[in-house]
Chains A and B, each alone.
Chain A
Amino acid sequence: MVHAMQHSLNGSTLKPGEVQLEVQDVKLRFGGVTALAGVSLTVKQSEIIAIIGPNGAGKTSLLNCISGLYRPQEGRITFHNRGEAYELTQLPPHQIAKVGVARSFQNIELFKHMTVLENLLAGCHVHMKTNIFQAALYWGKAQREEIAYRKFVEEIIDLLEIESIRKKTVGTLSYGLQKRVELGRALAMQPAILLLDEPMAGMNTEEKEDMARFILDVNEEHGVTIVLIEHDMGVVMDISDHVVVLDFGRKIGDGTPDEVRKNPRVIEAYLGEEAGSFSLF
């Protein structure tokens, strides 16, 4: 039986449709290589935005800039939450997590010796308050906090239908389940915005359908904004409200799935010149 969650997964204070994330003219270079050559985009609260583009277009680089792993040389990334505008290019990654940005990785980066439960609880880190002395005693407050967050994490486990593996060590799980756990760990952060780097890569159709359903659940039931990198165009066109196309570090398309589909520059980037007669999507 599906029952409503007691906790919200959404850590944003904005109303749907308000501007949440503004990326302005971000330029990122590694030595002589330009990864991002002035990318701008706007993400509104509670939408699903897909970033697509050929390999090496700079999609993951852009996500890394947003989550603070890369520092762009130029440009601004402004994030709105709790009545404040945070300049993400100035914050270290752990602070960015604290203000409400969660993400998953292209190559699963779970804590592989921990159980599923522990991975999800690790996602709750920023919300928990136990210090080392309380931890050593594990009495009263520390224990109550652990139990309270266990309840919260169990709701995510129910949502993602991973009850049967909650005590399994993550390293022993199949690829598809690990991807699901990684989504769970990001959700455990109660994010205001969720950055998903190829959440469906390497999955079969059924697993992709499940994952798409979870992403839609999180977005529709909880209103969490989702930024998604994905190569499966079927999925992208079906679930996203808004698609941004990158190629060689530049934005070549931005709009609804239909607009992007008809954009000649996008078709050119994907299929080369004179490809007008092919139907891409």
Chain B
Amino acid sequence: MESGIFHSSYEKDMALRHTPIEKARLALVILFLLVFPFVADNYWLNLANTIGVVAIGAIGLNILTGFTGQISLGQGAFLAVGAYTAALMSIHMGAPMWLTIPAGAITTAIIGAIFGIPSLRLKGLYLAIATLAAQEIIIWVITHWDAVTGGVDALNTKNYLWFGDDHHFFTEFQFYWIILALAALVTIASVNIFRTRIGRAFIAIRDQDIAAEVMGINLFKYKMLAFATSSFFVGLAGALIAHWRQIVTWERFTIEVSIFYLAVIIIGGLGSVSGSIYGAIFMVMLPAMLNNLGRALSGVVPGMDAIIPFIQQAVFGVVIILFLIFEPEGINKMWKNIRDYFRLWPFSY
């Protein structure tokens, strides 16, 4: 137990971590992430990679919806823009991954900013409907613009390291490192953004947009910037999906995906970068664990296999409702409460 935190400079006071315990905790997490792929089998690596990609996408969505207060139902479509950009560049131009992934992110940032223009006039539910339109328009274009996107047929992404390279088949183990590195970069960048004037401007717009404007924050510019930044990360996740799954089809980017991501950030914690990651872990692990449980029980309870999918859906719904009732601020807040409890224990006054 510490008696207090005594800083002698603003730099130290503004650091993200203050106590040895906090630093040790971070070191443990890093150690775990580095050791994990060497002990995990393909099933667990696949889960970890899914979590990584979902976390990147969720951080993106959280920047827009959680931090800037602009509700988006277009997440699925923005993932699709990143995925199709990367897939098409690799197929038609033979572009290497180090080019297609950033290109997917940048293209999505531009498209996202364009679909963010209505946010200057629309708020709340009205904006949600406008982004729903973005979702439907983008998916419609993908399924109907056969000449470019291949229409409803799936694309087979090529993983090149250089122009003119042969297709590489990467294992889950190899992708683990790519996804981990990018997820770490996205996390650090997002956390940093919210330590500066840019992040404060985003939050100011969410909390009190008129006051923000009177403080000199250009609402149009910063809303566009929020859409672009958010979509950049979402597109990055999309491009990663394209290369990792190697099959890109519009069916993976429907409105259900948008809603799944909204659930991730609500359960993880709106307006929290780490919450996005907790939410991703929870929402990916929950169905997987339910599956395992069902399989374990199928020997005991006959016919269990058949009803697992229904139970999954029901549990999903119940969990979201429970979170909204008992901890609307999500896992991030729960974790904070636990930390505070032990920090002050046994003198919690």
The residues of A with any CB-CB pair to B shorter than 8 Å are 67-69, 92-94, 96-98, 102-103, 105, 109-114, 118, 121-126, 128, 130-132, 134-138, 142-143, 145-147, 150-151, 154, 185, 189
* CA of A190 to CA of B215, assembled, Å: 11
* CA of A207 to CA of B341, assembled, Å: 35
Distance in Å from the Cβ of A232 to the closest Cβ of chain B? 24
B216 adjacent to chain A (CB < 8 Å): yes
Contacts of A111 in B (CB 8 A): 200, 203-204, 207-208, 211-212
The residues of B with any CB-CB pair to A shorter than 8 Å are 10-11, 13-14, 189-190, 192-193, 195-201, 203-204, 206-208, 210-219, 225, 229, 271
Contacts of B213 in A (CB 8 A): 69, 92-94, 97
Distance in Å from the Cβ of B185 to the closest Cβ of chain A? 9
Query: Quick check: A118 and B200 within 8 Å, CB to CB?
Result: yes
Distance in Å from the Cβ of B344 to the closest Cβ of chain A? 16
* CA of A92 to CA of B193, assembled, Å: 26
Distance in Å from the Cβ of B64 to the closest Cβ of chain A? 14
Query: Quick check: A110 and B196 within 8 Å, CB to CB?
Result: no
Contacts of B197 in A (CB 8 A): 121-122, 124-125, 128, 130, 135
Query: Quick check: A136 and B11 within 8 Å, CB to CB?
Result: no
Identify the closest chain B residue to A105 (Cβ): B211
In the complex with contacts A109-B208, A111-B204, A135-B197, A125-B192 CB distance below 8 A: no
Further pairs besides A125-B217, A150-B10: 5, Cβ < 8 Å? A97-B213, A97-B215, A111-B212, A113-B206, A146-B196
Contacts of A150 in B (CB 8 A): 10, 13-14
Contacts of B10 in A (CB 8 A): 147, 150-151, 154
From DSSP, what is the main secondary structure of chain B's interface residues? helix
Query: Quick check: A135 and B199 within 8 Å, CB to CB?
Result: yes
Contacts of B198 in A (CB 8 A): 130-132, 135
Contacts of A142 in B (CB 8 A): 192, 196
Identify the closest chain A residue to B229 (Cβ): A132
* CA of A128 to CA of B10, assembled, Å: 17
* CA of A137 to CA of B215, assembled, Å: 25
Query: Quick check: A138 and B215 within 8 Å, CB to CB?
Result: no
Query: Quick check: B200 and A136 within 8 Å, CB to CB?
Result: no
Contacts of B195 in A (CB 8 A): 135, 138, 146
Query: Quick check: A125 and B216 within 8 Å, CB to CB?
Result: yes
In the complex with contacts A128-B197, A130-B197, A135-B198, A93-B214 CB distance below 8 A: yes
* CA of A105 to CA of B208, assembled, Å: 12
* CA of A67 to CA of B216, assembled, Å: 10
* CA of A98 to CA of B211, assembled, Å: 14
* CA of A137 to CA of B198, assembled, Å: 12
Identify the closest chain A residue to B226 (Cβ): A132
* CA of A114 to CA of B197, assembled, Å: 13
* CA of A246 to CA of B203, assembled, Å: 36
Distance in Å from the Cβ of B340 to the closest Cβ of chain A? 14
Q: Point out the residue from A69, A122, A135 that lies within 8 Å of B215, measured CB to CB.
A: A122
Identify the closest chain A residue to B271 (Cβ): A113
* CA of A171 to CA of B27, assembled, Å: 34
Query: Quick check: B204 and A122 within 8 Å, CB to CB?
Result: yes
Distance in Å from the Cβ of A85 to the closest Cβ of chain B? 20
* CA of A113 to CA of B10, assembled, Å: 22
Distance in Å from the Cβ of B211 to the closest Cβ of chain A? 4
Contacts of A128 in B (CB 8 A): 196-197
Distance in Å from the Cβ of B279 to the closest Cβ of chain A? 18
* CA of A109 to CA of B206, assembled, Å: 12
Q: Point out the residue from B11, B200, B218, B225 that lies within 8 Å of A132, measured CB to CB.
A: B225
In the complex with contacts A69-B210, A125-B216, A147-B11 CB distance below 8 A: yes
In the complex with contacts A113-B203, A125-B200, A189-B193 CB distance below 8 A: no
Identify the closest chain A residue to B228 (Cβ): A132
Contacts of A143 in B (CB 8 A): 11
* CA of A201 to CA of B229, assembled, Å: 40
Cβ contacts A to B, 11 pairs, < 8 Å = A92-B213, A94-B219, A109-B208, A110-B208, A111-B208, A122-B217, A125-B217, A132-B193, A136-B190, A146-B196, A150-B13
Distance in Å from the Cβ of B284 to the closest Cβ of chain A? 26
Identify the closest chain A residue to B192 (Cβ): A138
Query: Quick check: B199 and A125 within 8 Å, CB to CB?
Result: no
Distance in Å from the Cβ of A220 to the closest Cβ of chain B? 25
